[in-house]
Chains A and B, each alone.
Chain A
Amino acid sequence: MNTAVAAHCPYCALQCGMTLTPREPGALVGPRDFPVNEGALCQKGWTAASLLDTPDRLREPLVRRRRGEPLRPAGWDEALDLVAGRIRELQDRHGPDAVAVFGGGGLTNEKAYLLGKFARVALRTSQIDYNGRFCMSSAAAAGTRAFGLDRGLPFPVTDLRDADVIMLVGANVAETMPPLVRHLRRARDRGGLIVVDPRRTATAEQAALHLAPRPGTDLALALGMLHAVVAGGHLRRDYADARTTGLAQAWRIAARWRPEEAERVTGVAGACLRDAVELLAGARNAYLLTGRGTEQHSSGVDTVSGWINLALALGLPGRAGSGYGCLTGQGNGQGGREHGQKADQLPGYRRLDDEAARRHVAAVWGVAPEELPAAGRSAYELLDALGAGTGPRALLVFGSNPVVSAPRAGHVARRLAALDLLVVADTVPSETARLADVVLPVTQWAEEDGTMTNLEGRVLLRRRALSPPQGTRTDLTVLRELAVRLGQPASRFPDDPEEVFDELGRASAGGPADYAGISHRRLRAGEVLHWPCPDRRHPGTPRLFLDRFAHADGRARFVPVDHRGPAERPDPDYPLIATTGRILAHYQSGAQTRRVADLLRAAPAAYVEVHPDTARRAGLADGDRARVVSRRGTVEVEVRCVPTIRLDTVFLPFHFPGDERANLISNPALDPTSGMPEFKACAVRLAPANGERP
């Protein structure tokens, strides 16, 4: 008889605990008591086992020798020889940067680590980045500059249970991570939940105070609130003096943002803004949490700095029972950004331009520091450069589906088509895999061991619960096989997850995200370990910053930031603002969840949420097919009239493919610091779809 294996959900950064009981075929999901989810799961979690036996699961490599030909099955050796051969050919002709790598925030720590090492050591390319650039990069940059360290939640998620007041900014957790709502109950039931979102989301519905700013104006709101903190006498000056620097410079800017000024820009009444400040300031324990809604902007880093400044003025960060945090999105969004698949980083959250970091990691890898390439392009810049000019001629994609998830997706698909070689490792024929020259079928969550670092910086071991399908290999094996074919010694590219993790620990030792003391063995034994954990006897660090922040002087930084607004504003041709986001039934590009029958039934197609008046003016009614047109493309979707949305705003979920891709219209204007594209605000117009109406 098969026994239940303790597992974690394959989707978001909560990494809810569950059990998996193998069946023939597939497995059965059961509840498991785990602090993050207390046995609860959302519909995605309950149905996650369907991923294991989805009918179009990839079970053998696919190859196309020439463009225009269909993909046909091939043996592993044939496929890998082909890939390695083409890589050598292209690099011989165009140099190492002719080959690029694109990773993902859903990959395990072991995979993220080995992918970065593969790029820098086996390919010696600088051209590696990942889809987390589209997810956490703004919060990460702002967190690092404020606190000297970026860990999404610098406290366990269960600490939220004791808060009086919680302010969620641009985070619709009731849909994107439902079990988290359990930890918000106390604050909510006491009238202490504040939600900032342009839409009246399922989360905003529960708030005592819902502030609905015009998309792209969050920083003006944060500045107005900082002003109200000072003007209302709520500034924690003792805390600011003892634990921070830079308040005066930040205040000089906020002094210009009276709530009435902020109101004019955001549309949020000055009175509501003050109410929010009073709630936060009056709380014994309070948290300010940001999500993608406020981060995915071309001014995302400054916007998050604005929120952190507010939290610092209220004395929240680094105080037991209070704090600032960002809610990581992807399953391993935290670990994925720490171990070297980011264009400018080495394992342990080290910087690629730091000589000491290069020396340390090069020594672990057995190469000379000067052999390590410099920092490469950020995700969108990388995709934009493919197959043109000095850009890469080949791309290897692991754990990502940029044809759906990248901004200006139509353009990105054309860039992918211009490559000499596109290789995609995936479990299913995703939209990106379908464009590939070589598709490599890999194993997934329940079929392999690996660690994930969840939104609270806790490292979790995800165990193998059942055998992978015949014909698939792990990403680690794929990287090892390719590295060997490219002339690397096999010993340098282990494919045993535990062995890879131990090496990751050595590479991260002494870095900001220090995993040196964590091991699969300790995790198997049930230890609860949050990084940093520098040695085998260290108990881990569930709460950061209680004594000092991670800057050399131990103080947090106020950063002087000012509002500048979105890169593209509405005009007579494109009078509305489109914003995008997630819905409960789907995850990311939908490559997984659209293959789960229950989830597809719950949310079968994309749509556009519109105020009924705005729809009517565009000649549309509820249920009509509409075209949403931006300067970059057009999406055709169904109209869903929602009387609570702002008249100037439309919303599209981004999980759907083809003509329903929300990213056909999104704006790739990038944040100058983080490289984050402006997913959350672009100018559009709305019209009836062709042939639907006169």
Chain B
Amino acid sequence: MVIVGYGMAGARLAEQVRARDPEGGRVALTVVGAEPWPAYNRVLLSGVLAGTMTAADIALHDPAWARGNRVRLRLGARAVRLDRAARTVRLADGASIGYDALVLATGSRPWLPPVEGLADDRGEPAEGVATLRDLDDCLRIVDQARPGVPVAVLGGGVLGVETALGLARRGAGVTLIHPADHLMERHLDRTAGMILAALCRAAGVRAVTGRAAVRYYPGEGVKLEDGAFVPAAVTVVTAGVRPETGLAADAGLAVDAGIVVDDRLRTADPLIHAIGDCARAGRAPQGLVQPAWEQAAVLADLLTGADGTARYRAGPVVTRLRAGDVDLTAFGETHLEADLTALGETHLESDSPRAEVLSYVDPARGTYAKLALADDRVIGAIVLGLPDAAATLTQLHDTGGPAPGDRPALLFGRALPQAVADDPARLPDSATVCRCNSVTKADLVRAARSVGGDLGALMGATRAATGCGDCLRTVRRLAERLEDDSGNTTEGTGT
């Protein structure tokens, strides 16, 4: 078995194969990686960029991993051609590796938008332009984007916003340029996009939306379509990625925004599979790691024979952005709006045939929650700055469970705190005062009738406050009150 690609998907697949076949009795495994170092966790690159993690922290495998796990690992080796008839993979250095099963885990590469001067003759980023795909890019940007250095970030999707905030944290003067009307427009409605832009500004990022970059001047900056100029010593492009499908396409395999595979992650050639960012398994790849890992598990089951019935089914996708003080979750139907036209015709809370949309917006504090439900199921949400709500909503979305009836609690994430009756006189008789000894207020009142309101006597008679002792204050206050009342026997209940 040969895995082409030693990124997060390829590395995970190799681990999963060895988890099922630790001695290598069933599968002889070769992994081909284009980068010169062992696999690392690409998701954590933003941590390296923001300075919270080092390159060593994000390594997925240590250098001895391959040997210890009976894996032949070829680093710094780029696959250039598949020969399906001969069942071989040709590498850039001329070597050729035979396979019985081949897995393409080639990932994706950053897309450079058509901005004049951004790419060189070979289509590679021009001088002063960085993408954020690999550790090299990341280390280079970290090296250059020192405090005070002006940086332009092109593309206001998740990665763009995360990168801009990370660089701003390092002290760079960041301008985030996004051609659409608001940030993350695929995931967010306009309100959320506007609030996110304000949060970015508060974090020191200048967000420019609704204007595309048209020309790049090396080392100087970027010109926008309205003629404005954004000075930048470093320009980071975060305008999306394109799946690496060249090997598959050249070998005559179907490609449609990703190498097309079935629910066994198999191309039309039954010996060739694809997983991760390069694969279209049911739907176009989204650049997320979760599907890649799920695919790796399924494929490991199939290729080791551990579970021949394993199948991949694409699950719900959640967009999560967390950087500095920004905590954003978005999934499902995020562009629905509350339908106010129906108000004139129907009763409130009647069974609406349409989706139910709730929202809360607090622009001054950068908080926003929007929730779409249909048939009492959560079908979409945007949550900015209410992390508890986000966690609950995501789980409801993932499991398809019914939403609670308390919609405000759902929207805000925690039930509003209930006022605690501080005055024991206002407690109902049935209220348990001392849990450790199952003593109710009525028990205390009854005891006071026979032993009086002395605290020690009350405690002795009821054993209230003799366990964890936390109710001592309440018992004391109640005792004082009962003692006051003891002269007035007919009204001694104190309720």
Mark A residues whose CB is within 8 Å of B: 31, 39-43, 46, 174-175, 178-182, 202, 206, 214, 230-233, 248, 251-252, 255-256, 258-261, 263-264, 266-272, 570, 575, 584-585, 598, 601-602, 611-613, 616-617, 643-644, 647-648
Contact = CB atoms under 8 A, between A and B. Distances in A.
B466 A267 contact: no
Interface of B: 41, 43-44, 47, 52-53, 57-62, 290, 293, 318, 320, 322, 327, 387-388, 390-392, 394-396, 398-399, 401-402, 404-406, 413, 415, 435-438, 463, 466-470
Q: Sorted from nearest, which 4 A-B pairs have the closest CB atoms?
A: A181-B468, A271-B387, A602-B438, A269-B387
A584 B468 CA distance: 12
Contacts of B60: 252, 255
B438 A272 contact: no
Contact of A233 (B52, B402, B413, B470): B52
Given A41-B467, A175-B435, A202-B435, A263 B391 contact: yes
B404 A40 contact: no
Given A39-B466, A259-B322, 14 more contacts: A40-B466, A42-B468, A46-B466, A202-B435, A230-B53, A232-B52, A256-B41, A258-B43, A263-B390, A270-B391, A271-B387, A584-B438, A601-B438, A644-B415
A43 B399 CA distance: 41
Contacts, number: 123
Contacts of B398: 264
B467 A264 contact: no
Contacts of B470: 181, 206
A179 B468 contact: yes
Contact of A617 (B41, B62, B396, B402): B402
B39 to A, nearest CB: 10
Contacts of A251: 57
A591 B96 CA distance: 73
Contacts of A613: 402, 404-406
B437 to A, nearest CB: 4
Centre residue among A42, A214, A261 by max chain B CB count within 10 A: A42
Contacts of B390: 263, 269
B44 A255 contact: yes
A584 B438 CA distance: 9
Given A230-B53, A269-B390, A648 B401 contact: yes
A570 B396 CA distance: 13
Contact of B469 (A40, A232, A602, A643): A40
Contact of B391 (A39, A181, A248, A269): A269
A249 B41 CA distance: 14
Nearest to B65: A252
A181 B467 CA distance: 9
Given A258-B43, A643-B415, A584 B405 contact: no
A552 to B, nearest CB: 23
Given A40-B468, A178-B436, A181-B470, A267 B395 contact: yes
Given A248-B62, A264-B318, A270-B391, A42 B415 contact: no
20 contacts: A43-B436, A179-B468, A182-B469, A252-B59, A252-B61, A255-B58, A258-B43, A263-B390, A264-B394, A267-B391, A267-B392, A270-B322, A272-B387, A584-B435, A584-B438, A612-B405, A613-B406, A617-B402, A648-B395, A648-B399
Contacts of A178: 435-436, 467-468
A315 B322 CA distance: 27
Nearest to A214: B395
Contacts of B320: 260
B391 A179 contact: no
Contacts of A231: 44, 47, 52-53
A452 B398 CA distance: 48
A266 to B, nearest CB: 8
A210 B59 CA distance: 33
A318 B391 CA distance: 35
B468 A182 contact: yes
A256 B395 CA distance: 19
Nearest to A569: B399
Contacts of A585: 438
Given A248-B62, A256-B41, A179 B394 contact: no
A42 B437 contact: yes
A647 B57 contact: no
A613 B62 CA distance: 49
B384 to A, nearest CB: 12
Nearest to B405: A613
B41 to A, nearest CB: 5
Nearest to B465: A40
Contacts of A584: 435-436, 438
A181 to B, nearest CB: 4
A211 to B, nearest CB: 10
B468 A43 contact: no
A250 to B, nearest CB: 13
A156 to B, nearest CB: 19
Contacts of B290: 261, 264
B388 A42 contact: no
B467 A42 contact: yes
A272 B322 CA distance: 13
Contact of B57 (A43, A255, A272): A255
A255 B41 contact: yes
A259 B290 CA distance: 14
Contact of A41 (B57, B401, B466): B466
A466 to B, nearest CB: 22
Contact of B463 (A46, A259, A272, A611): A46
A602 B322 CA distance: 48
A40 B406 CA distance: 40
B57 A40 contact: no
A46 B327 CA distance: 50
B124 to A, nearest CB: 30
Contacts of B43: 258
Given A40-B469, A43-B438, A613-B405, A570 B57 contact: no
Nearest to A612: B405
Contacts of A230: 53, 57
Contacts of A611: 404
Contacts of B401: 575, 647-648
Nearest to A644: B415
Contacts of B413: 269
Contacts of A598: 438
B394 to A, nearest CB: 6
A272 B391 CA distance: 10
A585 B468 CA distance: 14
A231 B51 CA distance: 9
Contacts of B402: 613, 617, 647
A274 to B, nearest CB: 9
Nearest to B12: A256
Contacts of B395: 214, 264, 267, 648
